[in-house]
A and B are shown apart, each in its own frame.
Chain A
Amino acid sequence: MRETFPVTINGATRQIARGTTVAVAMLLAEQPCRLSVSGEPRGALCGMGICFECRAVVNGIPHRRTCQILCEQDMTVETNR
């Protein structure tokens, strides 16, 4: 069985498998990574760190490219508003 640990996404804690990127955790939680300048929900597009659509607040730091960061135990992730 693969290892999982808790990650808190927009206030709700869920179990995430080790090796999951933060962008994927947001997809699994059906939460947008960010709200665009006109307020549209957005998530990962390119998956390789180029497009910046998957920016979110990770452990309190805004504008993190979540497709380039792996989930860690007890991480908190919030939609970048």
Chain B
Amino acid sequence: MTRTEVLVIGAGPAGIAAATAAAENGRQVIVLDDNLNAGGQIWRGATVEKAGSSHQGNAAKRRAMTRLQQSGAQVLGGRCVFSVEASGTLQTLQETGSDSLVEQFQFDQLILATGARERFLPFPGWTLAGVFGAGGLQALVKGGYPVAGKRVIVAGTGPLLLAVAAHLAQDGAAVSSVLEQATLAQLAPFATSLWANPAKLVQGARYRGKLWKTPYRTGSWIIEAIAGSDGRKLGAVRVTNGTRTWEEPCDLLACGYHLVPNTEIAALLGCTFRGAFVQVDDAQRTSLPNVFCAGEPTGIAGLEAAMVQGEIAGLSCAGLIGTSLQKRAVVERAFARRMEKAFSLRPELRSLPRADTIVCRCEDVAFGSLHGRTSWTDAKLQTRCGMGPCQGRTCGPAVEYLLGWRPVSVRQPLFPVPLQAFCSHDERVEINQLKEKV
């Protein structure tokens, strides 16, 4: 059992800012993350050294990481949180090549900085080899997947598409199209509002600069991924703009429909929600007095908001109030509302899946078998939709958009774990190479 005053879940920008602020102000801090390295998704670093790579390290990330290291906060990567109690205990599972290790933590205050994941919407062919999430393909490239010379199409919706396309292009991919389902009319007010925010505008222009040859087609979306001649791997995509339909050949498709917040831990703890998001006050405090939340779980608002909210949460844990930060947080919330409107999903996307299109990839539940089901619970009981290892994290947001069903409950364990891990308490357990650190 490891004890700490402040426990932060998530080592992305929000978690790093929170941990730094709390530790700099005298609190004992541990940060946990499921990923091996700190940085979260937006600051995910390459794990493979590339000869002559032209990627420049991100200056904001370097500053944040340096400050975090100097603050004295301890970062523990590769830890997947599978159980937590608001009374102050939490369990993680660490999986390496050959071992599983269960650890227990005790905390006074908890900061949830669990970030967001991509929203996936099912379409015919989306289970073919060569089809990835947008952020998904970017993460794999950072994990060593070479895309040089590959024909890539980036599609879906959200500001992430341009960032992903720029990153892939820089790695030598031939990005032939970026397909954004939102219309230009929808995007224009959002784009115009960026003039008030030079940092975001510069970032956007930098992406565009790397993609000067790539068309950015608004109001266009993928309707099908088509297998190549071998029948197993992606060969082309069928695209529409609502009036015209065409095929584009490609080797890889990176497709994601913006982000959904990771709120499972907050839901399990019983935090109050405001719609899909965790409700927090000006101090980033949730409805539970010792639980704080920062970043995407409170509203999809991007990097700057995450860093500001994280710092506020960290200061709050140290008993301090960040008044000027709170004003910036309000500005970022307005940005989040404009972004949500700009990238709202078009209704045509609901008619993409055919009867035989897989919706739940864990249990291979086809869209047609959800016909006649009346709720998420009904679908789970009758079809096993959402009952597999991802626990509905992938198909849940899709089904919510397609059929309007809200996922109903979150239970422990939050991720699949070996039964011994879930049953064990303070005693050391070693079955099937499972180890427990006490």
Contacts and interface: CB of A to CB of B under 8 A. Distances in A.
Interface of A: 1-2, 17-21, 23-25, 27-28, 32, 36-38, 40-53, 55, 58-59, 61, 63-65, 67-70, 72, 75
A79 to B, nearest CB: 12
Contact of B144 (A1, A17, A50, A68): A17
Contacts of A27: 140, 145
Given A2-B51, A36-B361, A51-B361, A45 B145 contact: no
B382 to A, nearest CB: 16
B136 interface: yes
B96 interface: yes
B166 interface: no
Given A20-B47, A36-B364, A69-B95, A45 B144 contact: no
B393 A19 contact: no
Contact of A37 (B46, B135, B364): B364
A37 B388 CA distance: 10
B390 interface: yes
A68 B95 contact: yes
Interface stretch (B84-92, B126-134, B153-161, B208-216): B126-134
Contacts of A2: 48-51
Interface of B: 34-36, 41, 46-51, 78, 80, 95-98, 100, 117-118, 120, 127, 129, 131-133, 135-140, 143-145, 232, 262, 358, 361-364, 388-390, 393-394, 416, 432-433
Contacts of A51: 120, 133, 361, 390, 393-394
Nearest to A17: B48
Nearest to B80: A49
13 contacts: A20-B47, A21-B144, A27-B140, A36-B364, A37-B364, A46-B394, A47-B135, A50-B390, A51-B393, A52-B388, A52-B416, A53-B361, A68-B78
A49 B35 contact: yes
Nearest to B95: A64
A62 B48 CA distance: 25
B139 A50 contact: no
Contacts of A61: 98, 100, 432-433
A58 B80 CA distance: 18
A44 B132 contact: yes
A45 to B, nearest CB: 6
A59 B47 contact: no
Chain B interface mostly helix, strand, loop or mixed? Answer: loop
Given A2-B50, A50-B117, 6 more contacts: A2-B48, A17-B48, A24-B140, A44-B132, A51-B390, A59-B97
Contacts of A70: 36, 47
Contacts of A24: 140, 143-145
Interface centre among A45, A63, A65 (most CB of B within 10 A): A45
A22 B339 CA distance: 35
A3 to B, nearest CB: 8
A37 B383 CA distance: 13
A48 B114 CA distance: 12
A42 B361 contact: yes
Given A40-B364, A41-B232, A48 B97 contact: no
Contact of A47 (B80, B143, B232): B143
B394 A63 contact: no
Contact of A63 (B78, B127, B139, B416): B416
Nearest to B45: A19
B165 to A, nearest CB: 16
Interface centre among B46, B47, B140, B390 (most CB of A within 10 A): B140
Nearest to B394: A51
A38 B35 contact: no
Contacts of B145: 24, 27-28
B357 to A, nearest CB: 12
B35 A68 contact: yes
A57 to B, nearest CB: 11
Shortest 7 CB-CB contacts between residues of A and residues of B: A47-B139, A20-B144, A21-B143, A19-B48, A19-B47, A47-B136, A52-B389
A6 B380 CA distance: 43
A45 B36 contact: no
A46 B139 CA distance: 8
Nearest to B115: A48
B392 to A, nearest CB: 11
Given A48-B41, A61-B98, A72-B97, A19 B36 contact: no
B140 A37 contact: no
A42 B46 CA distance: 24
A41 B129 contact: yes
B133 A55 contact: no
